[in-house]
Amino acid sequence: MDRYVSIHLDRSLDKPLYVQVFEGIVRLIEQKTILPGEKLPPIRKLAALLKVNTVTIVNAYRFLEKEGFAVSKVGSGTYVSPSLKPSAVEDLKKEPVMKKAGKTSGHGPYFNPQADSDIRAEKEQEGNVRYDFASAAISPEFFPVEEFKEVLNEVLDRDRGYAFGYQESMGYPPLRQSISELMFKDYDIKLPAEEIQIVSGAQQGIDIIAKAFLNYQDTVYVEVPTYTGAIDAFKSRGAKIVEIPLDPDGINIDELRARLKVKTPVLFYTMPNFHNPTGYSYSEQKKKELIALAREYDFLIVEDDHMNDLYFEEKPSPLKAMDDDGHVLYIKSFSKLFMPGLRLAFIASKKEFGMRIADAKYYSDISSSGLTQRAMDLFFRKSLWPGHARRMRTIFREKWQAIRLAIEEHIPRDINCKSPGGGLFFWLNLPQGYYSMNLYNMALKQGLLIMPGDFFYPDRRPSTGFRLSFAEIAPEDIKSGIKLLAETIEKLFQEYRLNPLRNNNFRPLL
Ligand SMILES: Cc1ncc(COP(=O)(O)O)c(C=O)c1O
């Protein structure tokens, strides 16, 4: 282990620690301090020695493997590649390591989501994250655990072993009925129970729709920016992704029309209300136009309703409410507002698609958990849902107001931002030429986390936009957090003013 002490890590650099560990090990190979075929230290030991998170070492080893410096043997560990050619080290000298690291995603290293979790894990481990505006999951302290415990116990007493048997693939029938009633009461939408398919979370819902409707090379339109979990699901079916820009009042209809004239997609994936990451909602006019276009060109709309219940102004209407002839495949998740770990959502589609969707669900995981479905059903039947949703709206409305005010007061005027009417996200745009990944890196050093826009584009391209989430942050931290963000933005501007080229240096390598 002594030989590894010489690996020097500098936390003040922009370079992620895993890249520094990677470079340190390559240097040891180059100096012949460690030899081809030799086993690298166990992850935990090296992490302890270098005082870093184990994720950092895992990433460094993965990177060594990717670049041909190491091989891993299942159950044994990671070894310096026995067939390491001297040219590998020479190649590395020719091509800067940061550029190589960026190859993972086709961009610079800061575009590597793994690197992001690497830095984040480091900061979190060191207790350095003071302001988390990145997390999109609400804090578990808001989960209705006591109420859920009661319904769980009641289900266990009532259904005993039946709660643990195989369930119907389409879902527990009383739950489908409860959902049907809830959607009518809350949103005035008639969704017969036969048209409801229970799934284990919206992510599975998207994946199941991809399985049920897409063939290899089919076209899917998506808004950009968007939730990339959906893109990954579509890509896993070999679909071609076409990006349609999203405006603050909904999809850019002219661009959509122009695209439709060239190619009709099989699916159009959208979040019409409180979009992730922008928080934007479609105007009623755009909703109507989108539905009309789906009819005219005969494609299916996948509506991802992940957040409709978290409204702070007007209650939004899902697209599904306007869908008279079944062009909308509606997915509603109970993750965001309720408890993500329950893994519960549903797809509503017209009856003729029911079997196709149920088959895809069956091939995925046979059925969602019987216990969870039964407990959720009882939660609805005891009318506990409206109270919970109301409580969440009250709690998050307060945070939404605080962040709105803080943005208005502190964020420079040339940062463009449209306040959302609900949900958990604000989307801010830096002026042209500034990249949010650079802001992210500067902010991270101050213990402030934001979500750079790059993560919401299919190709992770550099973006001026970034997302602020108020899911996790405590109300009392909002003002000071936004103030710190504003100061960091000013610093970014100053760096650029002092040396315009600096921004380019900062810019991830393309
Ligand atoms: C827009 C959107 N859709 C779907 C999902 C996945 O949700 P679930 O937890 O229900 O699978 C997420 C999760 O972050 C999301 O943001």
**The three-state (H, E, C) secondary structure of 145-156, written as one string:** HHHHHHHHHHHH
Query: What whole-number percentage of the chain has pLDDT above 90?
Result: 71
Is there a domain that residue 112 lies in?
Answer: no
Query: CA torsion sign, 95 to 101 to 107 to 108?
Result: negative
The 10s digit of each residue's pLDDT in 167-193 is 999 999 999 999 999 999 999 999 999
State in Å: Cα 324 to ligand 1 middle. 26
Grade residue 385 by pLDDT with cuts at 50, 70 and 90: very high
Q: Bigger pLDDT: 497 or 27?
A: 27
Grade residue 406 by pLDDT with cuts at 50, 70 and 90: very high
Contact present, 58 and 70 (Cβ < 8 Å)? no
Which ligand 1 atom is nearest residue 276's CA? 1
State in Å: Cα 306 to ligand 1 middle. 6
- Nearest Cα to Cα of residue 178 among 379, 391, 387, 388: 379
Distance CA 466, CA 459 (A): 16
* Res. 108: pLDDT tops 70: no
Other CB atoms within 10 A of residue 194 CB:
12
Say whether both 403 and 468 belong to one domain: yes
State in Å: Cα 203 to ligand 1 middle. 6
State in Å: Cα 262 to ligand 1 middle. 31
Is there a domain that residue 435 lies in?
Answer: yes
Averaged pLDDT of the chain? 89
| Cα distance from N-terminal residue to C-terminal residue, the chain | 37
Q: Tell me the best of 276, 329, 425 to mutate to test the pocket of ligand 1, counting ligand atoms within 8 Å of each CB and taking the most.
A: 276
- Cα dihedral: 184, 190, 192, 196 (round 10): -80
* Res. 327: pLDDT tops 70: yes
Phi, then psi, of 428 in degrees rounded to 5: -115, 145
Say whether both 321 and 396 belong to one domain: no
Q: Bigger pLDDT: 305 or 462?
A: 305
The 10s digit of each residue's pLDDT in 432-465 is 889 999 999 999 999 999 999 999 998 888 899 9
State the pLDDT at residue 110. 30
Is there a domain that residue 125 lies in?
Answer: no
Q: Bigger pLDDT: 349 or 496?
A: 349
Grade residue 501 by pLDDT with cuts at 50, 70 and 90: low
The helix/strand/coil state of 304 is strand
The 10s digit of each residue's pLDDT in 44-57 is 889 889 988 877 88
Is there a domain that residue 120 lies in?
Answer: no
Say whether both 216 and 345 belong to one domain: yes
Say whether both 249 and 373 belong to one domain: yes
Ligand 1 neighbours by CB, cut-off 6 Å: 136, 201-203, 227, 229, 271, 276, 304, 306, 333, 335, 340, 345
Distance CA 40, CA 64 (A): 11
Length of the chain: 510
Report the Cα 457 to chain-centroid distance in Å.
11
H or E element, residue 123: helix 113-125
Q: Please count the structural domains in the chain.
A: 3
CATH classification at residue 416: 3.90.1150.10
Structural domain for 343, as ranges: 145-383
State the pLDDT at residue 261. 97
